[in-house]
Amino acid sequence: MVAAAAFPGERPLYLVSRASLRARLGRHGDRAVAGRVTDPAFLHEALKGGRGPVVVAAPSGQLGRVAAAVKEAAPDAPLLVLRDDDRPMSGATVVPLSAFGERIIQPAVDRAAQRVRADRLRAHFYDAERVLILMQDDPDPDAIASALALKTLLGRTRTSAPMCTFGTITRPENVAMCKILEIEVEAISAEDIAEFDRVAMVDVQPSFLEERFERVDLVIDHHPMEQPIDARIKDVRPSYGATSTILVEYLRAADIKITQRLATALLANHNALRRIERPELSHEALDVLAEGLAKRRVVQGVFFSHLGRVETMDLIPQFADFGLQAEGVQWSVVSGVVGDEVHVSVRNVGYVKSAGDVTRAAFGDLGVGGGHRTMAKAIFPVQKLGRGASEPGGGGVCQERIIYRFLRALGAGRPPEGPPS
């Protein structure tokens, strides 16, 4: 290809060696001239006064002669040569056919395969009266966007395919996101599963949940598989950074328009996302969090922090989410005293023991404790932690006893110290 001074979108001029090829290109509205493409005189005449890119078609064995003729006819024109290998050619930029296949053909093949998968997926759910789209217990923006994208792919309404969770949305910014975008997420129980004809999971896998399923029709996720997945259709891609990215590929392959609302949920519309307000923290709340961060302890892969007395229990799960981001941490256990009760929030990365089981074993004898695979909580009277816990300045005592109990229940080896008296 000879790239002359062209405007974007300007159609190329094809120089070909056969009249039949010229006629075929002409039927598609392309400009074409037939002649001896190795003849500098022909090329000079064809290129004279021309504008826009020029494509010269020639057998691979004649590429060298054609390139030399082009450079003689148009010495200042940049030349691009497509050939079998990447051997350099004087005065030209060489693109090997293998690169052409990787950049042009392979993406087209991948999209065709994705279209087949999308058609199969949609056909599986076509005759279902009600479809359950299930997320993890505390859905994050990726899960919410993925669920909305799947509902769009299936062409479903809120009634015929509700977006559900066994837990609840706790992070204020995620609650705000759903409110602003008018996304309804329903809380259901294990008994409600029988009301649906099909079950689809996004951004979660059956083994991540405490509930057991007789059947799962679809699992789309980007997390590594903890256990083999028993589902009629499964698409798990750990190399992807988000499940919603997988769903976008399905939508594009099926030529389904991504609406403004869905685009915003998929984090594509940054201006709309600025409207999702983060909760304001008072100076007192910031002081509490700062103290909790200063007194944090990471023991055997568990982030511990006791916030002491807090005005609102919302700070505790927020800080538990934050603690899970610490390097080398698989669990986050954050506690605080609200009134005369200790509230403990537990989070994990999702591929370890059930947070609900461990929390119940650690604190169930003191009050109430339990939850789901990746999140749990416990509430019990502060005096149940023993002598000194409820006294002024007893935060250190509370933290040590919570650490001991949790590590013992986790079975992570012997706690660093014996149980405080």
273: pLDDT confidence band, cut at 50, 70 and 90? very low
> In this model, does residue 237 exceed pLDDT 80?
yes
Average pLDDT over residues 376-384: 90
- DSSP of 372-417, one letter per residue? -SSEEEEEEEGGGG-TTSSSTTTHHHHHHHHHHHHHHHHT-SS-SS
> In this model, does residue 7 exceed pLDDT 80?
no
122: pLDDT confidence band, cut at 50, 70 and 90? very high
> In this model, does residue 8 exceed pLDDT 70?
no
d(CA 255, CA 285) in angstroms, rounded, equals: 48
Q: What is the DSSP letter of 85?
A: S
> Is the model more confident about 243 or about 62?
243
Residue 50 confidence (pLDDT): 56
Average pLDDT over residues 128-136: 96
Please check whether residue 134 is in contact with residue 221, taking contact to mean a CB–CB distance below 8 angstroms. no
Residue 165 confidence (pLDDT): 94
Pick the closest to residue 28 from 42, 41, 14 (CA basis): 14
DSSP three-state, residue 81: strand
**Stretch among 4-8, 185-189, 304-308 having the lowest mean pLDDT:** 4-8
Residue 277 confidence (pLDDT): 45
**Stretch among 134-143, 284-293, 409-418 having the lowest mean pLDDT:** 409-418
Give percent of the chain with pLDDT exceeding 90: 30
Segments in 331-373 forming alpha helices (H): 355-363
> In this model, does residue 176 exceed pLDDT 80?
yes
pTM for this entry: 0.55
Segments in 38-195 forming alpha helices (H): 40-47, 63-73, 97-100, 106-125, 141-154, 172-180
> In this model, does residue 130 exceed pLDDT 90?
yes
Mean pLDDT value across the chain:
82
d(CA 96, CA 350) in angstroms, rounded, equals: 45
415: pLDDT confidence band, cut at 50, 70 and 90? low
Residue 388 confidence (pLDDT): 76
Please check whether residue 149 is in contact with residue 247, taking contact to mean a CB–CB distance below 8 angstroms. yes
Average pLDDT over residues 351-364: 86
Average pLDDT over residues 394-398: 82
The tens digit of pLDDT for each residue in 65-84 reads 777 777 777 776 666 666 67
The tens digit of pLDDT for each residue in 360-371 reads 999 999 988 887
The highest-confidence range among 95-104, 129-138, 369-378, by mean pLDDT, is 129-138
